[in-house]
Amino acid sequence: MISIALFGGLVIVLVVLGLLGLVRGAGHLRNGRLVRAGLRGTLSSLMIAAAALFGLGALNLTTYQQLVYEQPVGSISFRGLGPGQYEAKLQRPSGATSDYVLRGQDWELQARVLKWRNWLALIGFHPRYQLSRLEGRYTDIAQARSARRTVYALAPTRGFDAWARAGWLKAPLVDALYGSAVYLPMAAGARYTVSLGQTGLIARPANARARQAVAAWH
């Protein structure tokens, strides 16, 4: 989590410099140096505001997991509830599980990936990812347009939304921001593993029932 630590260190430095600047500005004000006091106060306020933005950004980055080469991001298994309806159990690498009811023939998992610029990568900033959405898919286009959809948000909202503010973050800090998705058929008793590599999400059958479903998929 070196990137979070560095962001935190930058926040502390900016806050300290900002507070010192305010103290010196107050000294100039007491001595009647109004111009210097105003400049010090403005600069210090900007530093503290920047510290607040970086702090909120660092807080939001904790919702993104660090990505180093290909690594598992979870597994998903299914229990049949009825025609075209399944209970999906999503398990994270931490062991935490969540259950979702999905409609359709396929499941789709989406993720957001944030890749830093090279100069940040050199000082230890690794790409980060965030699982963002799980939904059921219909293979038939007409059915997809008319049938009930089941879509679930997976990403927690915490602090400054680095993804939404990527426009101004991208130029100095971020090399690439992109979404990745993978989908495979649902089947009662099927289980899949999901990993994320440099090219995006990868899903693989983890048992015989899942392999049968993929083999019959069309």
Look-up: residue for tokens 């590599």? 197
Tell me the pTM.
0.65
Residue 4 has a pLDDT of 54
Look-up: residue for tokens 């309806």? 85
pLDDT above 90 for 182: yes
Average pLDDT value for residue range 13-35: 65
* Range(s) of the domain holding residue 95: 66-215
Range name among 22-31, 69-78, 117-126 with the lowest pLDDT average: 22-31
pLDDT above 90 for 149: yes
Single residue among 61, 76, 109 that ends a domain in this structure: 61
CA dist., res. 25 & res. 35, Å (int): 10
Are residues 119 and 164 both part of a single domain?
yes
Single residue among 21, 39, 61 that ends a domain in this structure: 61
* Cβ-contact 184, 172 below 8 angstroms: no
Are residues 173 and 80 both part of a single domain?
yes
Please report which confidence band the pLDDT of residue 154 belongs to, taking 50, 70 and 90 as the band edges: very high
Are residues 19 and 123 both part of a single domain?
no
Q: Alpha carbon 78 to chain centroid distance?
A: 25
Residue 18 has a pLDDT of 63
Task: Supply angle C-alpha 29, 33, 35, rounded to 5.
Answer: 100
Average pLDDT value for residue range 9-30: 64
Task: Give the count of domains, the chain.
Answer: 2
Residue 127 has a pLDDT of 76
Average pLDDT value for residue range 116-140: 82
* Cβ-contact 56, 9 below 8 angstroms: no
